[in-house]
């Protein structure tokens, strides 16, 4: 088995950026995620930055202002140019070399500190953009507890379709409507009311969220060339939070026979910082199948995948209504689940996607599917929490919810924590519904 962790994961590492050491920041020196930013309210060009504590390191300034080893110049060049896709295309050895250099640069005893201090901007003073150009977006369905709960609503005796445990199910989504935190406009569309003879066109009455993780493809594969499981690990750049907003009433009417269409392509939201796969190394877990379930076909199997294919990431969804906000009431946590409960690993999803020769490109986004837990506390959508509206959930202040109402703010958060490692987080992605 390859060595997963290295000096950049050392829990004893501390940074000269004080806020990175407080034990609560999502972005300690062990994380080092990439994002694209500029000074809020400015019309400056977007820059690639690295989050550290409550600051952002401007990699264009840093490449100009601080001394770096010669071999880092070709790695810094695309980052300084604001082109994360080009950096992704360099491959995992380059990503790892850059991470080691950033770790050294941010460490307490760094000789670059006096130069890099001048290249920091508070995150609070930044606005963020999508971290890279997202060419294509595919959403999988790897949350087996979500698939089972949703399946039960429609097929109580046979919740999982026969292909589920053999093939990573997915659909091609739309990249143009992927954005960051902000306003989400309630979609309009065709719905068929219960008992109605004909559909009507109007605002969705069953607007929902889906708690997901997104994976950015780093390394391309050529058209016609599949990606083996080990190579798939090397092709994955990093992870973000993903909210796959879903209009359940549009979905129910349109989804057969070709799958989701307008019910999901009106908006998808991601968190702005890409947490690299290397940063997640201490939180890897064995991939296992429950007793009696089929083992993956050989092309989706591998020694590394069995030993460390899964990732322990705690995922949370939070809701604050307009009335709660007005009353100073904090957001209510709707669920807590874990990425390691997914039925397929990222390597399996990427390998399957390319198994027919489909060419993946740097910056392509893969969605995990809704990641629910096995119990009631872990349901990653309102469709599950309210049993499709049959059992509305109670909010503080006397309101209830089956689906999202105008003015509701839905926030996703995630973090990794385990003994012997420093906690790292994903930041958050949030959306407020408007009519």
Active site residues: 146
Contact residue for Mn ion among 208, 244, 254, 316 (CB under 5 A): 244
Residues 6+ apart with CB under 8 A from 362: 85, 86, 88, 89, 132, 217, 218, 219, 220, 237
Binding span for Mn ion by CB under 5 A among 61-69, 77-85, 206-214, 325-333: 206-214
> To the nearest whole angstrom, how small is the minimum distance from the Cβ of residue 132 to Mn ion?
21
User: How far apart (Å, rounded) are the C-alpha atoms in residues 316 and 414?
Assistant: 6
Q: Closest CB to Mn ion belongs to which residue? A: 244
Residues 6+ apart with CB under 8 A from 163: 169
Site string for Mn ion, 175-204 (x = CB under 5 A): ------------------------------
> To the nearest whole angstrom, how small is the minimum distance from the Cβ of residue 307 to Mn ion?
28
> To the nearest whole angstrom, how small is the minimum distance from the Cβ of residue 248 to Mn ion?
12
Please identify, using beta-carbon distances, which residue of 58 and 210 lies nearer to Mn ion: 210
Residue ranges in 13-42 that form contacts with Mn ion under rule CB under 5 A: none
> To the nearest whole angstrom, how small is the minimum distance from the Cβ of residue 171 to Mn ion?
8
User: How far apart (Å, rounded) are the C-alpha atoms in residues 209 and 410?
Assistant: 8
Counting residues that bind Mn ion (by CB under 5 A) gives 3
384 binds Mn ion (CB under 5 A): no
210 binds Mn ion (CB under 5 A): yes
Residue ranges in 132-161 that form contacts with Mn ion under rule CB under 5 A: 139
User: How far apart (Å, rounded) are the C-alpha atoms in residues 210 and 13?
Assistant: 35
- Of 186, 184, 171, 222, the closest CA to residue 349 belongs to 171
Q: Which helix (H) or strand (E) holds 145?
A: helix 144-154
- Sign of the torsion formed by the C-alpha atoms of 273, 277, 280 and 285: positive
> To the nearest whole angstrom, how small is the minimum distance from the Cβ of residue 407 to Mn ion?
24
Contact 343, 374 (CB under 8 A): no
208 binds Mn ion (CB under 5 A): no
User: How far apart (Å, rounded) are the C-alpha atoms in residues 48 and 54?
Assistant: 16
Please identify, using beta-carbon distances, which residue of 136 and 139 lies nearer to Mn ion: 139
- Torsions phi, psi for 151 (to 5 deg): -60, -40
Binding span for Mn ion by CB under 5 A among 31-39, 205-213, 294-302, 355-363: 205-213
Binding site residues, Mn ion, CB under 5 A: 139, 210, 244
């Amino acid at each position: 088995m390859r060595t997963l962790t290295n000096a950049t994961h050392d829990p004893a590492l501390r940074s000269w950026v004080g806020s990175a050491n407080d034990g609560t920041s999502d972005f300690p020196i062990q994380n080092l995620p990439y994002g694209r930013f500029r000074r809020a309210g400015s019309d400056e060009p977007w820059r690639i930055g690295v989050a550290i504590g409550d600051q952002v390191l401007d990699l264009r300034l840093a490449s100009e202002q601080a001394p770096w080893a010669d071999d880092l110049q070709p790695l810094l060049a695309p980052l300084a140019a604001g082109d994360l896709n080009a950096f992704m295309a360099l491959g995992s050895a380059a990503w790892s070399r850059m991470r080691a250099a950033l770790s050294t640069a941010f460490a307490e005893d760094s000789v670059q500190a006096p130069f890099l201090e001048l290249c920091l901007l508070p995150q609070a003073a930044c606005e963020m953009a999508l971290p890279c150009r997202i060419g294509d977006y595919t959403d999988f369905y790897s949350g087996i507890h979500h698939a089972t709960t949703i399946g039960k609503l429609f097929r109580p005796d046979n919740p999982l379709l026969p292909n589920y445990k053999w093939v990573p199910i997915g659909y091609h989504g739309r990249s143009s409507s992927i954005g960051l935190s902000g306003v989400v406009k309630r979609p309009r569309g065709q719905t068929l009311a219960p008992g109605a003879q004909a559909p009507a066109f109007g605002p969705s009455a069953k607007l929902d969220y889906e708690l997901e993780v997104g994976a950015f493809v780093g390394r391309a594969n050529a058209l016609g060339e599949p990606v083996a499981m080990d190579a798939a690990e090397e092709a994955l750049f990093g992870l973000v939070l993903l909210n796959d907003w879903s209009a359940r009433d549009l979905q129910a009417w349109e989804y057969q026979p070709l799958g989701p269409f307008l019910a999901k392509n009106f908006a998808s939201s991601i968190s702005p910082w890409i947490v690299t796969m290397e940063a997640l190394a201490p939180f890897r877990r064995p991939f296992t199948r429950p007793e009696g379930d089929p083992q993956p076909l050989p092309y989706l199997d591998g020694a590394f995948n069995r030993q460390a294919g899964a990732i322990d990431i705690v995922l949370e969804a939070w809701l604050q209504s307009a009335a709660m906000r007005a009353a100073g009431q904090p957001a209510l946590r709707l669920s807590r689940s874990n990425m390691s409960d997914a039925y397929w690993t990222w390597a399996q999803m990427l390998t399957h996607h390319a198994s027919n020769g489909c060419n993946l490109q740097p910056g392509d986004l893969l969605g995990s599917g809704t990641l629910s837990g096995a119990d009631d506390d872990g349901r990653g959508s309102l469709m599950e929490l309210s049993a499709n509206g049959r059992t509305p959930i109670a909010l503080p202040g006397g309101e209830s919810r089956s689906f999202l109402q105008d003015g509701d703010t839905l926030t996703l958060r995630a973090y990794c924590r385990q003994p012997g490692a420093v906690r790292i987080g994903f930041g958050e992605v949030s959306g407020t519904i408007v009519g």
